[in-house]
Amino acid sequence: MRREELTKIILPEEKIPKFWYNVQADMPNPPAPGLHPRTKKPLTPEDLTPIFPMSLIEQEVSTERYIEIPQAVREIYQQWRPSPLFRARRLEKALDTPCRIYYKYEGVSPVGSHKLNSAVPQVYFNKLDGIKRLTTETGAGQWGTALSLASKMFGLQCIVYMVRVSFQQKPYRRVFMETYGAECIPSPSEKTEIGRKILREYPDTPGTLGIAISEAIEDAVQCAETNYALGSVLNHVCLHQSIIGQEVKLQLEMVDDYPDVVIGCCGGGSNFGGIAFPFIPDKLKGNKVRLIAVEPAACPSLTQGKFAYDYCDVAGLTPLLKMYTLGSNFTPAGIHAGGLRYHGGSPLLSQLYHDGFIEAKAVKQKGIFEAAILFAQTEGIVPAPESAHAIKVALDEALEGKKAGVARSIVFNLSGHGHLDLTAYENYFAGKTKDVVISEQEIQDNLKNLPVIG
């Protein structure tokens, strides 16, 4: 078979990258330093040791271009990596487009998403530091599931604070986490001071990732043997996900192709950063590849937020990070793409977006479900609602290419499958999905609460 006829582009296991790629080494403007939540002075590594192991703190600030992936982590990656890159031939045909559409399928991991790529090294480095218990937040449930499995692999206990609306929408996610031996608690909860306070003030709150993060951190700081793990946003998480884009580059080489456009959905920015950041060095050399981050119109932190210092959580326990934000107390509508309901974006991604290396698009819910269904009916995979945001923009790009008579090469990250998100599809079929858009006024009102720096 000729190389360009391949549908499933597979790398052998020995091609799993041996290093993570650190975009910090190549950024013309480095990300602004994190600030201490109380003193508002630049963070020191010691500020972070109550919740993170030193190796992850080092990765957070490292400017080394390549960081070696430990052998123990690579051995675990071997179960699902390298993940396949598919050529979406039936989708292309349905769109009657001259464009070549590829998708990198991260749903092949045992938990069904890219999140395990970071969960495994995070638990590994915590284990090396003698940590026995990890707390975390989860929105859609994908990150919580990934950390639950990785914790079990290394013999750590795992406590997951799950955003209440997702806990209710996705009951089987809780069972999934419990199957791996984790404890899953709907957030806000009675377990923490911040959870009790929010429940008193807003008993019906759907919860937010910002609240769940506060609860997980409050829990972690109380015990020396407990650390906290974050599933997105931070530099070390984007670093771990860089294996996605590194593999994509090798896979496209196998079919003599190179993308015109690389697309990923964007919650905190880790799967997008994972597929897109390895292309930044090419852009710096003058390559015209476009990198597009896709967010929900219901939570448009990149397209309508402000580039400013903000907390990652509601209680103000986390460091202040300079990022595009809607304000840490922003409560997005309870859209099904729970993993994209985050008020801010990764500082690396935010800086690169600010500097014009990355584009961002916001899409509405009904359009993403239409795209998801066309994708499922042609390619067979039912995508996670989060990933469907990337599909929607890939379709738009392919249709624009058709209109302009240009055969673009389009790659998107299919960050996870939607097998546990079928309620979202059921609601769409029942006509219950709403196109949530927030007004500029609402955004500006919320941004008035941003912390004042210096």
Ligand X SMILES: Cc1ncc(COP(=O)(O)O)c(C=O)c1O
**Residues contributing to the site for ligand X (CB under 6 A):** 113, 139-140, 142-143, 232, 265-272, 339-340, 384, 386-387, 415-416
What is the closest distance, in whole angstroms, from the C-beta atom of residue 447 to ligand X in the complex?
21
Element at 221 (helix H, strand E): helix 209-221
Of the pair 17, 339, the CB lying nearest ligand X is at: 339
What is the closest distance, in whole angstroms, from the C-beta atom of residue 240 to ligand X in the complex?
11
Angle at the Cα of 123 from the Cα atoms of 120 and 128, rounded to 5 degrees: 125
| CA end-to-end distance (rounded Å), the chain | 63
Q: Please state, in angstroms and rounded to a whole number, the distance separating the CA atoms of residues 352 and 367.
A: 27
What residue is closest to ligand X based on CB? 339
Sequence-ordered list of residues with C-beta below 8 angstroms from that of 56, at least 6 positions apart, any chain: 122, 125, 126, 236
What is the closest distance, in whole angstroms, from the C-beta atom of residue 302 to ligand X in the complex?
11
What is the closest distance, in whole angstroms, from the C-beta atom of residue 264 to ligand X in the complex?
7
What is the closest distance, in whole angstroms, from the C-beta atom of residue 1 to ligand X in the complex?
31
What is the closest distance, in whole angstroms, from the C-beta atom of residue 208 to ligand X in the complex?
13
Sequence-ordered list of residues with C-beta below 8 angstroms from that of 99, at least 6 positions apart, any chain: 92, 397, 398, 401, 402, 406, 407, 408, 409, 410
List the structure tokens of 294. 């896709």
Rounded to 5 degrees, what are φ and ψ at 435? -80, 95
Q: Report yes or no: 53 and 227 within 8 Å, Cβ to Cβ.
A: yes
Q: Report yes or no: 231 and 136 within 8 Å, Cβ to Cβ.
A: yes
Q: What is the Cα Rg of the chain in Å?
A: 20
* Burial (Cβ within 10 Å: 0-12, 13-18, ≥19) of residue 89: middle
Of the pair 99, 292, the CB lying nearest ligand X is at: 292
Q: Which residue has the tokens 């941004």?
A: 447
What is the closest distance, in whole angstroms, from the C-beta atom of residue 269 to ligand X in the complex?
5
Of the pair 74, 115, the CB lying nearest ligand X is at: 115
Of the pair 139, 210, the CB lying nearest ligand X is at: 139
Q: Please state, in angstroms and rounded to a whole number, the distance separating the CA atoms of residues 220 and 52.
A: 10
Of the pair 74, 336, the CB lying nearest ligand X is at: 336
Of the pair 47, 386, the CB lying nearest ligand X is at: 386
Of the pair 97, 350, the CB lying nearest ligand X is at: 350
Of the pair 214, 387, the CB lying nearest ligand X is at: 387
What is the closest distance, in whole angstroms, from the C-beta atom of residue 35 to ligand X in the complex?
22
Instruction: Report which DSSP code applies to 17.
Output: -
Of the pair 139, 401, the CB lying nearest ligand X is at: 139
List the structure tokens of 290. 């476009």
Sheet holding 261-265, edge to edge: 8-9, 85-87, 100-105, 409-414, 261-265, 290-296, 359-363
What is the closest distance, in whole angstroms, from the C-beta atom of residue 416 to ligand X in the complex?
3
Residue 338 in 3-state DSSP? Answer: helix
117-146 burial, b at 16+ Cβ within 10 Å, e below that, comes to: bbbbbbbbbbbeeebebbbbbbbbbbbbbb
What is the closest distance, in whole angstroms, from the C-beta atom of residue 412 to ligand X in the complex?
12
Q: Please state, in angstroms and rounded to a whole number, the distance separating the CA atoms of residues 212 and 67.
A: 30
What is the closest distance, in whole angstroms, from the C-beta atom of residue 6 to ligand X in the complex?
25
Element at 295 (helix H, strand E): strand 290-296
Of the pair 255, 349, the CB lying nearest ligand X is at: 349
Of the pair 142, 187, the CB lying nearest ligand X is at: 142
